[in-house]
A and B are shown apart, each in its own frame.
Chain A
Amino acid sequence: MKNMSLWEYANPKKFMATTTPLLPWLFALSAFLLTAALIWGFFFTPEDYRQGATVKIIYLHVPSALMAINAWLMMLVASLIWLIRRHHVSALAAKAAAPVGIAMTIIALLTGAIWGKPMWGTYWAWDPRLTSFLILFFFYLGYVALWSAIEDPDTAADLTSVLCIVGSVFALLSRYAVNFWNQGLHQGASLSLDKEENVADVFYHPLLLSIAGFVILFLGLVLLRTRSEIRFRRSHALRIRARRANG
């Protein structure tokens, strides 16, 4: 059997052909996982003795926050692949992932605020993690703004890739700067591999399910948007070709 490599999907035709049957399954799977996780989490777990029922927002807050970071990391990898190997699908995938990342960041910030009011008495606090997320939100905005501002698609892909790389360095730097700036209310690592610090098991399993659901949802959404970007790019090329043919 011929050696299948991930790079085969750099071919837009193959990418489209493979994702067409795959997408409905991805969305179905994520819908199933998320429904199961949320029903289990909201209705079949006990209330936390300190936080009451409000802790249940963890099933939305934590996965979306994780995906907000992972979306940026995926964009970083896709940007590097574009700069090094010039695969258009990769550049378009990075472009496609940004709005999804923005949505995840907004969900994380909003659910965090909703959770924060009963927990800490305030919708917002300049706590290191919240502040880092706000800064990440602005990095996303800048990335999307740059894509929209440049006309030539390949130049836009190049410039936004460089921005993503430089932005990643500064995002990391900001994270540690913000820690210096404020010690913060946000609890420490609750999902660490160290069993001691873990959120109680009874909450942990529906949370894992929810995270899995969000990951599959992210994958589905990014693939869907990448397909749209590819189609848009094709129509752009056809338009240019038609314009040239007409003289």
Chain B
Amino acid sequence: MIALLIRDIRLSVRAGGGFGLGLAFFLIVVVLVPFAIGPEKELLGRISAGVLWIGALLAALLSLDRIFALDFEDGSLLLLATSPLPLEGVTLTKALAHWFTTGLPLSVAAPFLGFLLHLPPEAYTYLLLTLLIGTPALSFIGSFGAALTVGVRRGGLLLSILVLPLYVPTLIFGAETVRRVMMGSDPKTTLLMLAGITAGTIALLPFAAAKTLKINLR
């Protein structure tokens, strides 16, 4: 499984792998926001946490179809499925690889982009923390969505429609945690809920994704 993880990470970091694109997209989206809403510092500061969360979400969404589709097209997914490695292990590893190459860099980049949006100083740590905890959920939920649409040509938009409603709980608890910190109240409950959702998705969704892949590989 480690070999698979390293292989996937290496493949996506290589040229044509889409690694830097997610970060670039995140940056562009964040830069677009002041153009759309106006440069007023107060307003930007209030919405910054939410905008950063949505940007991270969309950037993670864009690279989801790479998780299985490339391997599906050239037949390596079939090889992985028939290998001694259980398919659930494969889906778990691939979702983890997606997080290493998308969610993790996005989370680290977010505080820097927070400067652009006048994120209040007390929110920085919690923004980083919530993104680090929440983006794995995005990768694992996304891997399920990618498994559903692996055989569909041009399935990108369909993937978005399927996956974005599933992202809602993570987004709500993640952004709410940062909002509560900005308001000065206790963020522990929402943070724990966020962590709980992530833990649940890591535990359960690889099974759903594996079942889905088995259906699609028939």
Binding site for B on A (CB under 8 A): 135, 138-139, 141-142, 145-146, 149-150, 155, 158-159, 162-163, 165-167, 170, 173-174, 177-178, 180-181
Contact = CB atoms under 8 A, between A and B. Distances in A.
Contacts of A158: 215
Contacts of A155: 151, 215-216, 218
Nearest to A175: B169
Contacts of B161: 138, 141-142, 145
Contacts of A177: 168-169, 172-173, 193
Given A162-B148, A163-B148, A180-B190, A145 B162 contact: yes
A46 B161 CA distance: 45
Interface of B: 144, 148-149, 151-152, 155, 158, 161-162, 164-166, 168-169, 172-173, 176, 189-190, 193, 197, 205, 208, 211-212, 215-216, 218
A150 B208 contact: no
Contacts of B164: 138
Q: Tell me what chain A mostly uses at the interface: helix, strand, loop, or mixed.
A: helix
B193 A149 contact: no
B189 to A, nearest CB: 8
Contacts of A181: 172, 176
A180 B158 contact: no
B162 A170 contact: no
A142 to B, nearest CB: 4
A166 B208 contact: yes
A159 B148 contact: yes
A159 B216 contact: yes
B165 A180 contact: no
Nearest to A143: B162
A165 to B, nearest CB: 8
A135 B161 CA distance: 11
A33 B32 CA distance: 54
B166 A166 contact: yes
A165 B166 CA distance: 12
Contacts of B148: 146, 159, 162-163
B165 A139 contact: yes
Contact of B173 (A138, A165, A180): A180
Contacts of B215: 155, 158-159, 162
A180 B176 contact: yes
Nearest to B218: A155
B7 to A, nearest CB: 27
| The 9 nearest A-B residue pairs measured at CB | A177-B169, A177-B172, A138-B165, A158-B215, A142-B162, A173-B169, A170-B166, A181-B172, A149-B152
Nearest to B196: A173
B162 A162 contact: no
A19 B105 CA distance: 57
Contacts of A174: 165, 168-169, 172
A163 B211 CA distance: 11
Contacts of A149: 149, 152, 155, 158
A142 B168 CA distance: 14
A166 B152 contact: no
Nearest to B161: A142
A146 B158 contact: yes
Nearest to A136: B165
A200 B176 CA distance: 37
Contact of A170 (B158, B165, B189, B193): B165
A189 to B, nearest CB: 23
Contacts of A162: 148, 208, 211-212, 215
Contact of A167 (B158, B166, B193): B166
